[in-house]
Amino acid sequence: MNAATVALAATALLQLPAPLDTTVGKVFLALVAFLVVLTVGRLLLSVAWKVALVAALGVGVFLFVTTFLL
């Protein structure tokens, strides 16, 4: 193999469409992005749910104390 053959092969490979430039590739990228968003959202919602629960309990205790004990 000489340098001209290697250069010709490299040029031929660069002219091929990338796998992600096809319609199926774009759908795959969209699904991967969607899964990343779902995973991050699931983690954030689990934390937010716990914070909301603690806040509701705190406000409930405050309401009880100010209504019946003061």
The 10s digit of each residue's pLDDT in 28-41 is 889 999 999 999 99
pLDDT digits (tens, 9 = 90+) for 13-70: 677 677 778 888 889 889 999 999 999 999 999 999 999 999 999 999 999 999 988 7
Q: What are the distances in angstroms from CA 17 to CA 4, 14, 35, 67, 69?
A: 22, 8, 25, 71, 74
Question: What's the pLDDT score for residue 25?
Answer: 84
Q: Which two tokens stand for residue 48?
A: 């937010």
Contact 13, 6 (CB under 8 A): no
